[in-house]
Every structure is written in structure tokens, then in C-alpha cells.
Structure 1
Amino acid sequence: MRKFYLIFTALFIIYSVAIGIYLLTTPSSLPPDLKGSPADPTTFMSPEQVEQAYAFSRIKNILFFIGGPLEWAIYLLILGLGLSAKFRDVVESVIKGSFWRVALFVLLLTFTTTLLQFPLDYYAFHLKHVYGISNETFNSWMTDNIKGFWVSAVLTIPIVWLLYLVIRKSPKRWWLWCWLGSIPLSLFFMFIQPVVLDPIYHKFTPLQDQQLKKEILDLAAEAHIPTEKVYQVDMSRKTNALNAYVNGIGSNTRIVLWDTTLQKLKKDEILFIMAHEMGHYTLHHMAWLFLGSIFMVLAALLVVYYLLRWTVRSCGKYWGIHQVTDLASLPVILLILSVLSFITMPIQNTVSRQYEHAADVYAMQLRNDPDVAIRTFQKLAVEGLSEVNPPALVKYALYGHPTLHERILYVKNYSK
């Protein structure tokens, strides 16, 4: 095991250095024929903004690429130091009920991982302040983190308890029962998110601009979205970035605009963004993504089933894990899921980019104003300090949207 950890550490260092060199030395570039076009950031950004967008994007991307393997390292550290086994021993010695044992174990594990990830999380928070993306105070950020810790715990504890209960009851078919249970659970969370989870972090109020609300609802009616709920959320106390979205299902469907979007965009630009977001609803992207996620969860659970058995059999004696049903195996499950999420992200983002482009097409069909669309994309780049044409690795691995240069080029050449 010592040899394994040394190899992992060496590979992590080599990988991190390689990613840093690639991202910090690969220049931003546009095809020569697009120089001076609306897709050229020098036409709508100052030289300082262009430089800041490059630096901010590259550092942020480095943090992402390193963040996944760092999370694996944290789980391996917890396992290698025997902390997971010690947490199990502690909860078994002080608590009798299985549910409360799971609860205490999850709290100890979550606190440990949160503590170990804190330096990187804080640096990301600091980075946004350096480049003017965030104006959130440290106290507010910490408050949100504490809320996130407890919300995660409240949601995770019963899920983990049920998971190990099913593993004990059905050692060979637990992956199937968990998969079937995940379907209604996911639907439940989609339903309660707008009205229960989101308000924990942000204050939602009805949109105050009644004329804009009318125009948005007229647009929603044209897009066949059955809602009268239009809200604004007070994001300006945390960020300078822009956003708007349509979320929820059934009676909980709602349209939400960040107040930064209301402050920094003109009405026609806001309506273009809303047309894009409504495109996702009208084109049933959430339903298709939900169906896709169902099969991805099935595949992930099958992988976890086989890898968990193999890992516990091979390494359990070194980590103090007695068997698959041992609560101390939870970091192994989380490690496998983290690796799967990281390596499948390019596939997920490829699908997402297709959906985002389809929503752009829908927005153009609904609004048919290329000049407004171009202005909107340019402002999104400026306010978010987004790199217009990132390196290929970043685009294919991280971008859930087409690049801004691709989006601007599409609307510029749009013909209805």
C-alpha cells in the first residue's frame, strides 16, 4: 500500500504540473477571418479585461482539473490513515441504533473532507474577489458553507442508511434496488428544489418590474410554459455574474432572474436570455437529461458494485474494512463515484453543449434579433470574465455550453 500511495502521489504531481503548463502556455486565439468580428474579444473588451479573462479562466480551469484528483487523494488519505475504520469504531462504541450510527459516521466523514478541501475552496473564493467576479463577504461565504454542510448531511444521512440497509438485505442485487429507488427520489428533489432548497441560500421575491414580468409571461405563453411565477433573486450581494433560469416541475415551475441580470442587461437582452432558458423547457431538455441520468445512475451503480467488492477484497485489510457491508467502506464508494463523475464529464458536457445550442436556436426563432443576441453574449463574457475561445481540452472537458465565440458566430450568421 505504501508503494501504491507513492505512485499515486507522483502521478498526481506530474498530472498537476502538466495541466498547469498546458493551460498557462496555450494562447487564446481566433481564426484569422474572425479578427475584428463581434466574436473577437478585443472589439468589446478593454485590453485589461481581455488579459483578466485569460488569467482568471486559466487559473479557474487549473483548479477544476486538480480538484477532482485532489478529492480522490483525500478519500485515499482517509482510508490509508485508517480514519474511516476509526470513525466506525467510535460510532459503534457510543451509539446503538444503526440509523444514528450512520448519522454520526456521515457527520465525521463530511466534516473531515470539508476541512481537507477548505484551502482549495477558500482559494477559489479569494480568486473571484481578486478578479471582481464576487463581492461576497467572508462571513456570508462561510454561512453558506455551514448551511451547505448541514443540508448535505440531512439529505445524505437517510440515503446512506438506506444504502447499507439494502446492501445487507440483498448483497447481490442491492445495485438494482438502489437504482429503482433513485428514480422517484430524483423526481422528488426536482420538485422541492425551487421551494425548499433554493430559498435556504437566497432570497426570492416576485419580479418587481411589472412591465418586464408581463413581457416574460407573454414569452412563456408563446413557449407553452404553464407558469405565472416570475421571481428575482438577490445575487448582487454575492456576485457580479449574470444568470436566469426556468426550474421546477409541475406546479413548482418558476422563472427566476438574478438581480444582477436585471441591473446590467437591457430589456431586449433579458428577453433573449429568457427565450433561451424557455427553449430548454419547450424542447424537454430536462426530461431528456433526467432519462439519461437514470441510465447513467444504473451504469454507475453497477460499476460501484463490482469495484467495491474488488477493492474491499484487495485493500480492506490495509484500511480496516472488514466487508462490503462495513460502514467504513463509504469513502470507497464516494471515491469510485468521484472518479466516474470526473472521467465521464466530457460525455455529459458534449450532450449539454448540444442542448445549449438547441436552446440558442430556439431563442433566435422566438426573438429573431441577432444584434441583441450578440450584445447579450458579449456582456456575459465581460461580466463573467469568460474566455471567448478556450483551449480544446477545456472546451471538451469542462464546457457545458458552446464557446462564446461559437455562439456569437452562430447568431451573427443566423437566417430564419
Structure 2
Amino acid sequence: MVRKWAFRGVFAYLLFGLVMYVYLYFLADSSLPNSLKGTSADPETFMNSRELMLSEEYSTIRNLLFFLSTPYEWVFYFLILILGVSRKFENWAVETTKFRFLQTGIYLFWLTLTSFIAIFPFQYISHTLSKRYNISTQSFSGWMKDEFTDFWVNYLMMFVIVTVLYWLIRRFPKRWWLAAWALSVPFSIFLMFIQPVLIDPLYNDFYPLKDKQLEEQILSLASKANIPTDHVYEVNMSEETNALNAYVTGVGSNSRIVLWDTTLNKLNQDEILFIMAHEMAHYVEKHIYIGIGIYLLFSFVGLWIAAKWMNRLVEKHSESLKVKKVSHLSSLPLFLLITSVLLFASSPLSNWISRYQEVRADRYAIELTGNKEAAISSFQQLSKVGLSQVNPPFIVKIFRYGHPTMLERLKMLEEYEGKEKQ
């Protein structure tokens, strides 16, 4: 029975991978509509032939890796369960100590380590691919340092979450999901509060913007938008990547506007001000808090579904899954499997909401700066430097894109300008 289920799981994964390969390389359409030929949305107007070829190659491989890595994680959790590995980890933990929190720590260490090793090939391929296409500038040693930092940060966070979660499952067998959701509200806000000052600095150095003249202009823009802020931060990402980015992070007094130094080095002043205006829009329109609210709604439904599915699967397939009770630590891979599937299934909706917010931020930035030319050139530079597809395939868009495609962003600017001229 175990061999049959293992074979079915691996076969389904390979079949899915083959389908996605055929779709991405032979069926997907990323061509530009004829109506946009020669416009600012046409990549041939701002990329040379080599850059066009590389952007298609790089994007297609990255898309394939995404659609292979996500179900690979599901197969991993499934095999960990049916092969009895998860139960073995739990037995080791129980035999080592009588204290439950130490049992959780031991079990979680072995599960996290096994997961790290299993997922590492995809991580390494992604890193080498970025190096080959000159996106990543990070050395292998620097990349491995970040990987190990990720390992311990994720382990410590999961230790806290899993310890509390399984205490709740034992304490409230029928309503543990509701209690877990209630506790996730302050925990999520706490994480967003400490991320800029405790977590992010583990990976990079953050410091106030060095260019004080530019900072003054950005702060003037912030004042125009009624945003109370005293500093703009830059981060030394050029040691890791050539890509461009800027973002808003944190909540309350710990909220920050952050610019990558690559953005400062490769965009002109007007383009940087447009990017900053876009990020300010997220603050003005309270997208961070709306995002928290949407996350809480999704997590409420997700935890309820996860609890229902876990109870049914353990009740009907306890022997096959090698899990006696939901309250046993050995059921954790089942919980992670279900939540991962739910996250993937809900990503088209969550990405659509995110894209809607990004469109509003784009429009706000144009209105605040009054510089559509800078908006166009900044989007073109983002595509060029990041080797991004201007018009990605539909399935890729709905599952991967939390931002509008560059085609949609540049088309919106073209139409916006058209309205202005009338």
C-alpha cells in the first residue's frame, strides 16, 4: 500500500511537471498585441535583441521552476508521512526527553533539516540561474550564509508557532483552529513590527539615505502626501543582485520606506521619486493594514478547512499516514501539506487583490509626481534589468504576479496620457 501511494504521488508530480513544461515552452503566448507595437509597452523599443532573448529564456525557466517546486514540496510532505519518517522523528523526540517543548524542538529540528536538504536543489538551481543571467551578484559563500540564516530564523519562528499550535490542539481538540487564528492576529502584527529592526538586518545593512539632497526631495514628496516620516533608508543589495526594488515595511513607529542601492545607482532622480511616490501610496491608501485584514480573513478560512481535512484524513487513513492522532507531532507534515495546497489554490485571488492595490499605487504616484515619462522609463528599466517578461502567460500571471504585468502598467500609462491629451 505504501509503495502504491508513493508511486502515485511521484507519478502525479512528474505528470504535472510535464504538462507545465509543454505549456510554458510550446503553448503559452507571451507575444505583444499588434495594437501596442511601437508603443512604450513594446519591449523592442527599450531592449535590444539579446536582452529580449534572455528575458524570454530566463523568465520561462523561472516560471517552470516555480511550478515544479511548489508541488515538489507537497510530494515531500506526503512521502515524509507515508514512509513513517515523521513518526520516526517524533519517536526520537519522545525517547530523548519528557518535556513537551523540548520534544517539539527536537522533532522540528529533524523535520526542518530534512526539508532544507530536500528543497536545497531547487534553491541552488535558482541561485546559479540568477548568476548565469547576471541578475545575482552574490558569491556562493554569501548565498550559503543567507541560506543558513533562513534555516535558523525559520526554525526559531516555527518552534514558537508549532509549540503553541499543538498545545492548542491538545487543549481545544474541536476548536483549536479558532484559538490558533485568534492568537495569529497579535503575532502577525508583532512580526511586522519587529521585522524592520530585528529580522531584515540579519541579511543586509540598512542606513539612512546617503544622498541628503535626494532624501530632502523624497521627504518633501512625503509631506505633500501627508506622510509623517523623518528618514528614508537604503540597503546594500548590490552585493547580492542587479535587480531594482523599493518597498514599505513594518507598522506603526517601525514603518520604513526602503530603497535598494541598485535602484539609486541605476535610476535617475525623477524615476526614483516616482518609485517613492508609488511606495507612499501604499501608506496613504492603508494597503498594509488592508493586507493584514485580508490575511486574517484568509487564515480564518484556511485554518478551519485545515482542521476539517486533518481530522478526516487522520480518522480514515491513520495507518497509511502513520499518524495516530492530530495532536501528535507526527501530524505536522500533514498540516503543512494542507496549508501549502490552500495557499497555492488561493494565490490567484490574493494576487488579484495585490495587483489591484498596485494599480492604485501607480495611478497615485503619477498624480503626485505629475511625471508620466519618469513612470514609463522606470517600468522599462525594471523590466530590462530584471529580464522580466513584459507580457507573461496567463497562468503564470494569475499564480505568480502580485504586481500588474509590465504590459498592463505601460498600457495604463499610454491610455492615461491619451486621456490627458483629449
Taking structure 2 as the reference length, the TM-score comes to 0.97
Matched, 1:16 2:17: yes
Summarize the alignment of residues 89-238 of structure 1 with structure 2, pairs less than 5 Å apart.
Answer: 89-238=91-240
Q: Is the 8 A contact 1:371 1:412 kept in 2?
A: no
**Which is further off, 328-337 or 245-254?**
245-254
Cα drift, residue 27 of structure 1: 4.1
Whichever residue aligns with residue 375 of structure 1, its letter is: S
Matched, 1:261 2:249: no
Alignment partner, residue 305 of structure 2: 303
Residues of 2 paired with 1:253 and 1:286: CA distance?
Answer: 10
Matched, 1:244 2:246: yes
Matched, 1:274 2:262: no
Cα drift, residue 6 of structure 1: 2.4
Residues of 2 paired with 1:95 and 1:145: CA distance?
Answer: 29
Whichever residue aligns with residue 23 of structure 1, its letter is: L
Cα drift, residue 85 of structure 1: 0.4
Whichever residue aligns with residue 117 of structure 1, its letter is: I
Residues of 2 paired with 1:295 and 1:115: CA distance?
Answer: 33
**Which is further off, 304-313 or 375-384?**
304-313
1:292 aligns with one of 288, 291, 294:
294
Whichever residue aligns with residue 263 of structure 1, its letter is: N
RMSD: 1.1
Residues of 1 paired with 2:396 and 2:154: CA distance?
Answer: 29
Summarize the alignment of residues 57-76 of structure 1 with structure 2, pairs less than 5 Å apart.
Answer: 57-76=59-78
Alignment partner, residue 380 of structure 1: 382
Spell out, residue by residue over 1:225-260, the C-alpha distance to the aligned partner (whole angstroms, 9 max, x if none).
221121110000000000011221111111110000
Residues of 1 paired with 2:319 and 2:326: CA distance?
Answer: 12
2:413 aligns with one of 397, 411, 414:
411
Matched, 1:7 2:24: no
Residues of 1 paired with 2:75 and 2:224: CA distance?
Answer: 50
Residues of 2 paired with 1:27 and 1:188: CA distance?
Answer: 43
Alignment partner, residue 44 of structure 2: 42
Cα drift, residue 9 of structure 1: 2.1
Identity, % of aligned pairs?
A: 44
Runs ≥4 residues deviating over 6 A: none
1:402 aligns with one of 376, 401, 404:
404
Q: Is the 8 A contact 2:355 2:401 kept in 1?
A: yes
Whichever residue aligns with residue 145 of structure 1, its letter is: E
Cα drift, residue 5 of structure 1: 2.7
SS at match of 2:257: strand
SS at match of 1:400: coil
Cα drift, residue 178 of structure 1: 0.6
SS at match of 1:232: strand
Whichever residue aligns with residue 22 of structure 2, its letter is: I
Q: Is the 8 A contact 1:229 1:253 kept in 2?
A: no
Residues of 2 paired with 1:223 and 1:153: CA distance?
Answer: 40
Residues of 2 paired with 1:243 and 1:413: CA distance?
Answer: 25
Cα drift, residue 14 of structure 1: 1.5
Unpaired runs of at least 5, structure 1: none
SS at match of 2:247: strand
Unpaired runs of at least 5, structure 2: none
SS at match of 1:205: strand
Residues of 1 paired with 2:6 and 2:106: CA distance?
Answer: 28
Residues of 1 paired with 2:391 and 2:230: CA distance?
Answer: 38
**Which is further off, 350-359 or 393-402?**
393-402
**Which is further off, 233-242 or 73-82?**
73-82
Cα drift, residue 304 of structure 1: 1.0
Whichever residue aligns with residue 3 of structure 1, its letter is: K
Q: Report the number of matched residues.
A: 416
Spell out, residue by residue over 1:316-351, the C-alpha distance to the aligned partner (whole angstroms, 9 max, x if none).
212331111111000100000111111111111011
Alignment partner, residue 369 of structure 1: 371
Spell out, residue by residue over 1:353-383, the C-alpha distance to the aligned partner (whole angstroms, 9 max, x if none).
1000000010011012111111000000001
Whichever residue aligns with residue 414 of structure 2, its letter is: K
Cα drift, residue 54 of structure 1: 0.4
Spell out, residue by residue over 1:95-119, the C-alpha distance to the aligned partner (whole angstroms, 9 max, x if none).
1211111011111100001101111
